[in-house]
Amino acid sequence: MERDLFAEAKVLDLVAFLENYLGNGKKEGKSYRFTACPQCGQSSAKSEKLSVTAGNSGTQHYRCYRCGAAGTIIDAAMAIWGVHEPLEAAKILLGENAPRAVVIKRSDSKPAEPANDPQAMTAAITRIRQVTANQNIDDPRWRKAVAYLVEERCIPKAVVQEAMKRLILGFIPDDVSNAAQFLERSVGREILEASGLWKPGKKIPGISFRPIVSFFPKLTSAEFRIARSPVEGEKKAMRYGVGSYPWFWRGSNPAATMLVEGAIDIMSAVALGYEGNILGLPGANSWQPEMLEAYQMKNPQTQVYHICTDNDVNQKDNPGRMWAIKLKGIIEKNLRKRADITLPESGDLNDALRRRNKT
Ligand SMILES: [Zn+2]
């Protein structure tokens, strides 16, 4: 059955969505009042000009008594995010930022932590994405996280900004207690606990220490990364949620697709001037050959694949190179397309970018 993305988006909570952008609503009987409007903005703090009510069908609507704007969560999202297509807004609300990338769910990926409740996890990740949409890259609250990507990882600010605009990347505050407050206020303790992101007995959610957030398509999974080099035994990035799809970056040349490992390497590939589409595979153990077949079917213009996994020269059997050879075999045999292995000299694509910037 075809999915009705509008119907799915319209059951999302309009009040909670508006509160991310317009401040807290005030409950009055069965409706909520706001002093700001998605269309005409904030008026005086005292004039409650916007009301949100649930219709007979259960869909919530807003109406502004000042400018006359009215609609559902989709209209609100279009106005707030500056999106022109209703379907696009519905997809963003639902986390479908890569509708044509890959349709087959991979079942063998191992989440970093078992989620208590996958629906609560998706709800939590969706909320985090809503509140991190449209962030200002120059906001001092995530200055360190941005500086880590731009200065230490050598990713140009414009590329970081584009990844934010594409809703692949978002930030929670650098400061741990601010991050915890930000999460509790925007997601709510109940959902954080139900999802397993906030462990029982802990003072704050563990992800408060990991300000760099990369969202996988469909929002069943997200990766939280520290904004510095890890200390011994510490994991750079933690992935939460189940069965994630690869990250996807649409380029200007539909004939070529690069396969890289992880979100930072997607941005590194863009920074190095790659013009094709880019698929960011979340890890060697979390993908299936069917994923590539589905991608080729959805993107039939693809003629050549550039495989750019890590070149793990210091590890036994070089797992990145082994993986590249496996991918090449699948692309040539199952997809009947050309596949070139173009591994970095050593390390990952981001190492290559940093080497280039040093010379
Ligand atoms: Zn208005």
Q: How far, in Å, from the CA of 125 to the mean position of ligand 1?
A: 29
What pLDDT is stored for residue 285 in this prediction?
60
| Token reading at 296 | 């080729």
What pLDDT is stored for residue 108 in this prediction?
32
Which stretch of DSSP H or E encloses residue 61? strand 60-64
Q: How far, in Å, from the CA of 171 to the mean position of ligand 1?
A: 29
Q: How far, in Å, from the CA of 177 to the mean position of ligand 1?
A: 35
Q: Give per-residue burial for 262-300: e unless 16+ CB within 10 Å, then b.
A: bbbbbbbbbbbebebbbbbbbeeebbebebbbbbbeebe
Q: Give per-residue burial for 164-191: e unless 16+ CB within 10 Å, then b.
A: bebbbbbbbbbeeeebbebbeebbbeeb
Paired with 341 in beta bridges are 307
Q: How far, in Å, from the CA of 257 to the mean position of ligand 1?
A: 44
What pLDDT is stored for residue 268 in this prediction?
96
Residue with structure tokens 């692949």? 168
For residues 214 and 168, is the Cβ–Cβ distance under 8 A? yes
Residue with structure tokens 């190179």? 321
Separation between Cα atoms, residue 54 and residue 36, nearest integer Å: 19
Q: How far, in Å, from the CA of 130 to the mean position of ligand 1?
A: 21
What pLDDT is stored for residue 90 in this prediction?
87
What pLDDT is stored for residue 116 in this prediction?
64
What pLDDT is stored for residue 16 in this prediction?
82
For residues 195 and 123, is the Cβ–Cβ distance under 8 A? yes
Among 280, 265, 282, CA closest to 108: 282
The rounded average pLDDT for each run of 10 residues, N- to C-terminus, in the chain (359 residues) is 81 83 85 89 78 84 92 89 82 64 32 61 89 92 96 96 92 95 93 90 91 88 90 83 80 95 94 94 72 89 94 84 90 94 88 83
Q: How far, in Å, from the CA of 131 to the mean position of ligand 1?
A: 21
For residues 40 and 105, is the Cβ–Cβ distance under 8 A? no
Q: How far, in Å, from the CA of 93 to the mean position of ligand 1?
A: 21
Q: How far, in Å, from the CA of 52 to the mean position of ligand 1?
A: 12
Radius of gyration of the chain (CA): 21
What pLDDT is stored for residue 85 in this prediction?
84
Q: How far, in Å, from the CA of 265 to the mean position of ligand 1?
A: 42
For residues 229 and 277, is the Cβ–Cβ distance under 8 A? no
Domains of the chain: 5-94 (3.90.580.10), 118-241 (3.90.980.10), 247-358 (3.40.1360.10)
Give φ, ψ of 302 to 5 degrees. -65, 120
